[in-house]
Structure 1
Amino acid sequence: MALVVRFTQILEFLVAKGQATEMQLSHLIKASEQTVRSVMTQLNQALEDVAVITRDKKMYRLVVKDYDELALLLGGGIKAIADFNSSDKRIAYICKVMIELGGYILIDDIADELVVSRGTIQKDLRKLGQLVTLYDGQLESKPNCGVRLLASEFGKRLIFLNHVYDYYQYELKFDSDFFDLLDNLYDKLKLNQIQVTTFERELLLSINRIQAGHIIETEIDNYCNLVNHNEFLNDFFIKIENKLNRNLTQYEQDFMAYPLNMNNNFPFDATRIDFAFINRLIHQIVMDIDEEYPIQMNQTTLFEALKFHVTFLLNRTRFQYQEKNIFFKSIQNRYPFAYQLAEIAKESIKKVTGLVISDIELNTLAIYFELSLSKVRIDSTKKVALIANVGTAAKQMLYLQIRAILGEDIVMTELTEEAANQDFSEFMVVFTTVPLKAISSNVMEIQVANLLDDDFITTRLRILKNSILLDKSKVKMTMTHLNQTYSENLIQMMGDLEQQGKVDSQFAERILARNQTASTIFENTFAFPHTINVGSSDIVLSIGLAPKDEISLIFMLAVPENLLPNWESYLVKVYDMIFEIVGNPELQYEILKMENLEQLQGLLKRKGLII
Structure 2
Amino acid sequence: MNRETHILRHLETALAATPDGLAAQLDLGTRSIVNAVARLDAMLGTAASVRLVDGRYRLYILDARRYGEIRQALLDADESLNDPAHRRALIYRALLRAAGPVRIGDLASRLSVSRTTATTDLAALRETLAGHDVTITGRTNSGIRLEGSELDLRMAGLTHFAEVLCDHYPLGDEIAETVASICTSRHLNRSSRHTVLRWLTMLLDRYLSGHPLTELPPEFSELEGTPSHDFAAELLAGISPLVRIDPPPTEQLFMAMAVAGMRTPDDQEGRQLFPADEDVPALVDAIFDRITEVMGLQVEAAELADEFAHHLTFMLSRMRFRIHLDDDAVADIRDQYPVAHRMAEISRQVLEERTGLRITDSEVGLLAGYHQVFLDHHERSRRTHLRVAVVTSAGRVSGHLLRIQLARILPEGTRYVMMSADQLDDDALTAADLVVSTPGALAGTGGALTSPVVELGAVFDRDELVNQLSRVRLHRYADLNLAGAGSSLLVSMLDADRFMALPPGTDYHRATAALIDRLEELGLVGESFREALRRRERDSSMLLDELVGFPHATVPGAERVVLAMGVIPRHIDEPGVRAVFVMGVPDKQDYDDTILIDVYDEIIRLASDRALITSLSRVTSHEQLFWFMADHPTRRNT
Distance 2:566 2:189 in 1: 55
Give, in angstroms, the shift of residue 314 of structure 1: 5.3
Deviations 1:226-278 (A, max 9, x none): 787789x947742425633425645244246579x435468862212216444
How do residues 375-394 of structure 1 correspond to structure 2 at under 5 angstroms?
Answer: 375-377=377-379, 379-385=381-387
| Residue in 2 that maps onto 1:392 | none
Instruction: Give the direction of change, closer, same or farther, for the CA distance of 1:572–1:268 in structure 2 (3 Å limit).
Output: same
Distance 1:598 1:226 in 2: 63
Matched, 1:210 2:168: no
Distance 1:199 1:608 in 2: 42
SS in 1 for 2:256: helix
CA contact under 8 A between 1:338 and 1:370: conserved in structure 2? yes
- TM-score scaled by structure 2? 0.64
Instruction: Give the direction of change, closer, same or farther, for the CA distance of 1:151–1:35 in structure 2 (3 Å limit).
Output: same
Matched, 1:238 2:238: yes
Instruction: Give the direction of change, closer, same or farther, for the CA distance of 1:100–1:222 in structure 2 (3 Å limit).
Output: farther
Q: 1:566 aligns with which of 591, 610, 626?
A: 591
| Residue in 2 that maps onto 1:356 | 359
| Residue in 2 that maps onto 1:485 | 505
Query: How many pairs were matched up?
Result: 558
CA contact under 8 A between 1:428 and 1:443: conserved in structure 2? no
Tell me which amino acid in the other structure corresponds to 2:323.
F
Q: 1:530 aligns with which of 551, 554, 557?
A: 551
Distance 1:91 1:57 in 2: 31
Tell me which amino acid in the other structure corresponds to 2:324.
Q
CA contact under 8 A between 1:339 and 1:366: conserved in structure 2? yes
Matched, 1:131 2:100: no
| Residue in 1 that maps onto 2:282 | 280
CA contact under 8 A between 1:432 and 1:446: conserved in structure 2? yes
| Residue in 2 that maps onto 1:473 | 479
Q: 1:292 aligns with which of 294, 297, 305?
A: 294
CA contact under 8 A between 1:423 and 1:439: conserved in structure 2? no
Q: 2:569 aligns with which of 547, 554, 572?
A: 547
| Residue in 2 that maps onto 1:262 | 263
Deviations 1:6-30 (A, max 9, x none): 2551453366479999999999865
How do residues 12-91 of structure 1 correspond to structure 2 at under 5 angstroms?
Answer: 12-13=9-10, 16=13, 31=32, 35-36=36-37, 38=39, 55-56=47-48, 59=60, 78=78, 81=81, 86=84, 89-90=87-88
Distance 1:326 1:508 in 2: 34
Give, in angstroms, the shift of residue 365 of structure 1: 4.0
Q: 1:494 aligns with which of 494, 497, 513?
A: 513
| Residue in 2 that maps onto 1:520 | 543
Give, in angstroms, the shift of residue 205 of structure 1: 1.5
CA contact under 8 A between 2:515 and 2:566: conserved in structure 1? no
| Residue in 1 that maps onto 2:154 | 157
SS in 1 for 2:499: strand
Tell me which amino acid in the other structure corresponds to 2:425.
A
- TM-score scaled by structure 1? 0.66
| Residue in 1 that maps onto 2:326 | 322
| Residue in 2 that maps onto 1:182 | 176
Gaps of 5+ in 1: 45-51, 390-394, 451-455
CA contact under 8 A between 1:26 and 1:33: conserved in structure 2? no
Deviations 1:538-575 (A, max 9, x none): 75533222225644632242555835532423333332
CA contact under 8 A between 1:339 and 1:363: conserved in structure 2? yes
Distance 2:467 2:66 in 1: 36
Tell me which amino acid in the other structure corresponds to 1:520.
L
Distance 2:622 2:220 in 1: 60
Distance 1:581 1:274 in 2: 38
Deviations 1:400-423 (A, max 9, x none): x98998457x7x698999773358
Out of 378-387 and 477-486, give the one that drifted further: 378-387
CA contact under 8 A between 2:504 and 2:569: conserved in structure 1? no
CA contact under 8 A between 1:591 and 1:603: conserved in structure 2? yes
| Residue in 1 that maps onto 2:603 | 578
SS in 1 for 2:386: strand
> Pairwise CA RMSD of aligned residues?
6.1
CA contact under 8 A between 1:544 and 1:555: conserved in structure 2? yes
CA contact under 8 A between 1:14 and 1:62: conserved in structure 2? no
Q: 1:369 aligns with which of 368, 371, 374?
A: 371
Distance 1:596 1:578 in 2: 18
SS in 1 for 2:598: helix
Tell me which amino acid in the other structure corresponds to 1:81.
L
Gaps of 5+ in 2: 51-59, 109-114, 392-399, 481-492
Distance 2:349 2:468 in 1: 34
Give, in angstroms, the shift of residue 351 of structure 1: 3.7
Give, in angstroms, the shift of residue 159 of structure 1: 1.2
Distance 1:214 1:17 in 2: 39
SS in 2 for 1:81: coil
Tell me which amino acid in the other structure corresponds to 2:339.
F
CA contact under 8 A between 1:534 and 1:561: conserved in structure 2? yes
Instruction: Give the direction of change, closer, same or farther, for the CA distance of 1:204–1:564 in structure 2 (3 Å limit).
Output: closer
Distance 2:388 2:37 in 1: 54
SS in 2 for 1:578: helix
Tell me which amino acid in the other structure corresponds to 1:547.
P
Distance 1:442 1:373 in 2: 27
Distance 1:413 1:294 in 2: 34
CA contact under 8 A between 2:579 and 2:613: conserved in structure 1? no
